[in-house]
Amino acid sequence: MPLKLSLPETGESLQSRVEIRPRQIKAWLEALPLANIVEASRSVSDALIALNRTPLDSDTRLKLLELYTTAINNLVPELQHKYTTVALPLSEKSRQAANLARRLYVELAYGYKIILLERLEKKHIRLGGLHLPLLIQRAMAALSKALCAFYQTYSPTPQGMWSEIHQLMQLALQRKLHDEPVDRGRNSVSATYKQTLLLALANPYKLMQGEVDKVAEYLVQHGNLAKLYPVQATLGTLGVFLIDLDSDAPPKSLEQQDGKTKMHNHILLSTDVLVSTLNEQITKLESGRAQKVLELTDHAKQASYLNLMRRLLKDWTFMPKRKFKRMANNNVIEICVGLRATCYFIASRPEAAEQETLDFSIDAGGSSPATGKSEQAQFATSQWAVTNESAGGMGLKCISSITQPIRIGEIIGLRSEDSQNWNIGVVRRVFSDNPEHLELGVQMLAPAATPVIIKPVVAGPKETFQAALLLPEIRPLQQPATIVAAPATYRSKLEYLLYQNNVVSHVRAMHLVEQTASFDQFQFSIE
């Protein structure tokens, strides 16, 4: 099978500027100024770009690439802090850091593909004591990590990247090298391929910031529990995904296939054992078992990690179908971003002018629960075009200047141009391919809400009233009334003071509905 892999152009003119002695490269990489991670990463990128465009014997190139691989795998996690911990749209500096991380892995993949194609052309399998599976695995791993960098910034993946990953796997399958161990048995082409597929199936554009790394971390340890089968294998459809090795796309649920798909170059991914293990880990974590016993990282100590695991359980079992049909829509709506901003704009409606309202323009901490008055700060709204809409949510595209930072899992208020009423939604999906372009997928939580402030009845000296939203009961959907409050507000069975319309009520938290980095939503009872 001839491989169609992208390669950089080579040129003799670059050779004089490239260091090709492994000992000197090793010393230089170890001496990089890590205090300035962007500058260090840029230096490595420039050196790797020059190396990939310089003719060089394969043995030397491989030695150099292995040194660069170790250095890049150490640099990029630090570089990621520049773009995975900030809200969207990314600033110019954050976007440059993200582009730099992508370029490092794309160039790393170039280097290994150069050697791989040279070896295949000469029909040599062994190379300096190392064999073909290492080259395939290294190229695939670099492409997979480049994909991660696109996921982390909610950017589209480049054309051809999935095609190359599938081609590399197909080569390994044809030569029966896919399960050959590399890295002293800790890795293989098959293991890397399955991690890449499973991360794509985790709906990366719906993951909250920081969760792509957590999923990738989990898959390093447990991803090999998924199994690859020929398409003729007798399997059910639940937790079975179809991979088209000739495509430029990630796998799809077997349930979504119409039966007309050509099967001559397809394989199947089954997540049965992985899902069973994940389900068992969730159950044991919920019962209080330590994460180390379950072979989980320290992230599993966080309540949000359990929520992530539950979502992965669904994603790796089946790809949910839409409950409601999406319809095209050309309406324009106004949105505000964040819990406090939503409280502020709801409280500022004209019909609320004659009532005693709470001022949510800044944190309610330090304000009187009787008036909530404090120094006013400004919140902004922006205009968005509705690209599609259903009973459960909508797609939005920003058409005004983006002034509000947005994250997945953020509460937003939405209202049409001819209405004073604010609907309540939560951002479920983000897509951005440049600083001026931002698209959202929004799930609707409630058609209206009441702004309130709450704090625990038994509160510490530093605990003050915090802004919250009271979402009404929706009987047709059998959806009880809930409170949406600041993150880390919810504590099971804890009693709170809730101030609304000049009345202080006692409520008790009963059941956590959802917890994100931006809010807690929970059911309650009135005491």
Residue 163 identity (one-letter amino acid): S
CA 395 to chain centre: 18
CB 78 within 8 A of CB 98: no
pLDDT at 240: 92
pLDDT at 223: 96
pLDDT at 362: 47
* pTM for this entry: 0.84
Residues in the chain: 527
pLDDT at 479: 85
pLDDT at 294: 86
497 phi and psi angles, rounded to 5 deg? -90, 130
Q: Tokens in use for 235?
A: 């399997």
CA separation (Å) from 22 to 61, 64, 141? 9, 6, 22
Instruction: Indicate left, alpha or beta for 295 from its phi (over 0: left) and psi (-120 to 50: alpha).
Output: left
pLDDT at 90: 84
pLDDT at 400: 73
Per-10-residue mean pLDDT, the chain, length 527: 85 65 95 93 95 92 96 95 86 92 97 94 57 94 97 93 97 94 90 98 92 95 95 77 95 70 79 94 88 85 86 84 56 91 86 55 45 54 88 85 81 88 93 81 93 91 89 85 94 92 91 91 92
> Quick one: CA dihedral 84, 90, 93, 96, positive or negative?
positive
Give the number of C-alpha atoms closer than 13 A to the C-alpha of residue 89, restricted to the C-beta side: 16
CB 217 within 8 A of CB 207: no
pLDDT at 9: 77
Separation between Cα atoms, residue 335 and residue 503, nearest integer Å: 29
